[in-house]
Structure 1
Amino acid sequence: MLPTGLYPESPPWRTHALEVPHDHVLHVEEGGNPEGICAVVLHGGPGSGSSPLLRRFFDPARYRVISIDQRGAGRSRPRGATVHNRTADLLDDLRRVREQLGVPRWLVVGGSWGATLALAHAVSEPQAVAALLLRAVFLPSAEEIDAFFQDSTGRAPAAWARFASMAPAGERHDMLGFLARGLQQAPADGVRQLALAWWRWEQTLARGAGAATSEPPTTQAEPEGETLDALVDRYRVQSHYLLHRCWLDSSPLLDRLAALPRVPTLLLHSRDDRICAPQGAQAVHDRIPHSLLQWIDGAGHDPTHPAMASAMVAALDSYAQHGHFGNASAP
């Protein structure tokens, strides 16, 4: 059940099939008020695709919300494609979408990988960014990626043992490599089983440290059919990005944050997020002197948790009304 306090779901008033280089076609939606404050929403993953939920944090009377399915994700085509699909391609696509829709500047909102892409976009095109709202920011370092797939912090040992049992004993030291190879090469039934194992492990971690750690949530039905096939494509893209640390680690993104525009910047992060480490949010905040960091308790990595959803709505309402995220001294 989604938390109360979100704005009602409403269909987009315009959709686009935007052709970009190398035979990719982006699915783009516009919702809310065509004359409102322009905001772009960057989904997570990589590879997850947009959801109507992401628009529900915005007051539809005050925002024009642009949702983009990134290359290979959601309803963009070809779904699951990894060829000509790198972070640099996504940054070029953001520029193309903005120019195509006639948007000089926009509020950039992203969660998890979407928050990472938002930072990279702001570094690449500072003049295009009016403000940044970053939920559960992810730093694609080798250490953070390894902590997820190998459970190096021992967050849920029994659940990780079930997850790792998908791989031969000799390959369990490199679960990401094993999954990436299998998602590209295994038969159809095999890739579905790999995707399910990954999904169960991710669900276990997403609930936060205060929840039981041995099983995924019983209230969420396991994906099947077309939903499961979409999950396979999502993880195919995600493993492709994570194998290369999202092409943001050789010149670490943290070291480039000095180029960010001095615009209102708010980070929201749960203290018990076991997918995107809270230390990452603190590190980003430390590199952005004008940023605000708001800690949320008990939300884990769940954007629909009432505490996180309320914080998102309050921040966006404040920006719509005041031009900042609740701090009058913000730039």
Structure 2
Amino acid sequence: MDFSRLQASSKIGDAWVYPQPPCLNFGWLEVDVDPAHRIYWEEYGNPAGEPVMFLHGGPGGACAPAMARFFDPLRYRVVLFDQRGCGKSEPNVASAGPGAALAKNTTANLIGDIEKLRDHLAITGAMHVFGGSWGSTLAMAYAIAHPAHCASLILRGIFLGAPEDLDYLYQGNAATWQANPYGLTAPGAYIKYPGEWAALLNVLTPAERGDVMASYKAIFDMVPASAAEKARQMEAAVTWSLWEGVISNMIPEAADTGKFGEADFALCFAQIEAHYFANSLFIPAGHFFDNIATLAAIPIHIVHGRFDEVCPLTQASRLVEALRAAGTEPVSYVVTNAGHSAMERENALALTAVMDGMAPLVRA
């Protein structure tokens, strides 16, 4: 039976409001030395328009031209960039290895990179900061560090990165899976994606499943001494990447995994994610809630899929509740009938509607 139409039904497809704009400018910006890090950036839209800094997900993802389609190209000046170690930025995990790419690769470094990119592109005053998934995390961390530079935060698929959030995604029933693979012994995304979950766990031995994230990190950190070890490392990276890539869609497209099944992307995505997750995202525990007054002073727009299994809706709920306790309502809070991906139709259209409805930014 052909289920292709069903699988395509949740994607944005031809329903974009705006056509793909041309790339106006691009380049690499050196942001660090020893090792040297150069981040790749692109600009779209109106060069004199309201600036939007787009923060991609992961950690370990990358930008793509389609990400400029959320924005009216006549109104906005959209900046896309690949974070350290990702995409076309250098050194890249896939081409240079994790040693160089993960050195000086922390949330504080990424916040600093955003500031350097602002200066390089002569963006002065406040800008819109737009981020989904890990991009929402980085957007909030950036806003706490530099609130005066944030005219608004547009956040999709809120990711707070607390231990329980990561356990939901990566641990679930893993410790008991061998004996009872369909046992609902703990909450987790595995409940809705048992086949993909089996693939994730089958890379590991039963003993290694006691701590899935730590076991995968150990595989990624390994210096392969044989062809078999190198093959296991690559299999682990692709499997890790596919797990998140497939479950990001409410209706998975098993036959077309896109970039998540590509070896180079998977190496970057998996190793950088594991690096950040092993270090609690390089963000102090409770950081967002300890600084909720700073966030509450910035206009915040939230779009979150009701059926998001990568970042369950409870994460947006916790943030919204904290903002309300601080005396502020989100300017908009849209819960869509979608999953995690920004490219699902309802999420994409909601994000575009938020940007279209934004009050004009008055700039000095």
Q: Which residue of 1 aligns with 2:56?
A: 43
Q: Which residue of 2 aligns with 1:129?
A: 150
Q: Which protein is bigger by CA-based radius of gyration? A: 2
Give the Å deviation of 1:291: 1.4
Q: Is the 8 A contact 2:238 2:260 kept in 1?
A: no
> What is the TM-score normalised by the length of structure 1?
0.89
Q: Is the 8 A contact 1:6 1:309 kept in 2?
A: no
Give the Å deviation of 1:256: 1.5
Residues 9, 257 of structure 1: alpha-carbon distance in 2 compared, 3 angstrom cutoff: same
Give the Å deviation of 1:33: 0.7
Q: Which residue of 1 aligns with 2:140?
A: 119
Specify the code of the residue in structure 1 equivalent to 2:155.
L
Q: Is the 8 A contact 1:127 1:261 kept in 2?
A: no
Structure 2 residue 95 is matched with structure 1 residue 82:
no
Question: For the residues of structure 2 that align with 1:249 and 1:159, how far apart are their CA atoms?
Answer: 32
Please give the per-residue CA displacement for 1:77-111, whole angstroms capped at 9, x wherever unaligned: 00121110000100111111112212122100000
Query: Among residues 180, 183, 198, which one is paired with 2:217 in the alignment?
Result: 180
Q: Which residue of 2 aligns with 1:270?
A: 305
Secondary structure in structure 2 of the residue aligned to 1:108: strand
Q: Which runs of 5+ in 1 are unaligned?
A: 325-331
Specify the code of the residue in structure 2 equivalent to 1:205.
I
Q: Is the 8 A contact 1:126 1:261 kept in 2?
A: no
Secondary structure in structure 2 of the residue aligned to 1:220: coil
Please give the per-residue CA displacement for 1:197-235, whole angstroms capped at 9, x wherever unaligned: 223322442223xx5xxxx5234146599x312211221
Q: Is the 8 A contact 1:296 1:307 kept in 2?
A: no
Q: Which stretch shows the higher mean deviation, 69-78 or 284-293?
A: 284-293
Please give the per-residue CA displacement for 1:59-81, whole angstroms capped at 9, x wherever unaligned: 11111001111111111100121
Structure 1's consecutive aligned runs of 4 or more residues displaced over 6 angstroms after TM superposition are: none
Specify the code of the residue in structure 2 equivalent to 1:217.
E
Secondary structure in structure 1 of the residue aligned to 2:28: strand
Q: Across the two proteins, how many residue pairs are aligned to each other?
A: 315
Question: For the residues of structure 2 that align with 1:236 and 1:21, how far apart are their CA atoms?
Answer: 20
Q: Which residue of 2 aligns with 1:139?
A: 160
Question: For the residues of structure 2 that align with 1:202 and 1:234, how far apart are their CA atoms?
Answer: 10
Residues 175, 125 of structure 1: alpha-carbon distance in 2 compared, 3 angstrom cutoff: same
Residues 297, 101 of structure 1: alpha-carbon distance in 2 compared, 3 angstrom cutoff: closer
Question: For the residues of structure 2 that align with 1:87 and 1:125, how far apart are their CA atoms?
Answer: 14
Give the aligned CA root-mean-square deviation in angstroms: 2.0
Specify the code of the residue in structure 2 equivalent to 1:284.
L
Question: For the residues of structure 1 that align with 2:246 and 2:88, how far apart are their CA atoms?
Answer: 27
Give the Å deviation of 1:316: 0.7
Residues 87, 221 of structure 1: alpha-carbon distance in 2 compared, 3 angstrom cutoff: closer
Specify the code of the residue in structure 2 equivalent to 1:25.
R
Q: Which residue of 2 aligns with 1:303?
A: 342
Question: For the residues of structure 2 that align with 1:231 and 1:202, how far apart are their CA atoms?
Answer: 11
Q: Is the 8 A contact 1:285 1:293 kept in 2?
A: no
Give the Å deviation of 1:157: 3.8
Give the Å deviation of 1:293: 4.9
Q: Which residue of 2 aligns with 1:328?
A: none
Q: Which residue of 1 aligns with 2:244?
A: 202
Q: Is the 8 A contact 2:131 2:139 kept in 1?
A: yes
Q: Is the 8 A contact 2:127 2:149 kept in 1?
A: yes
Give the Å deviation of 1:132: 0.8
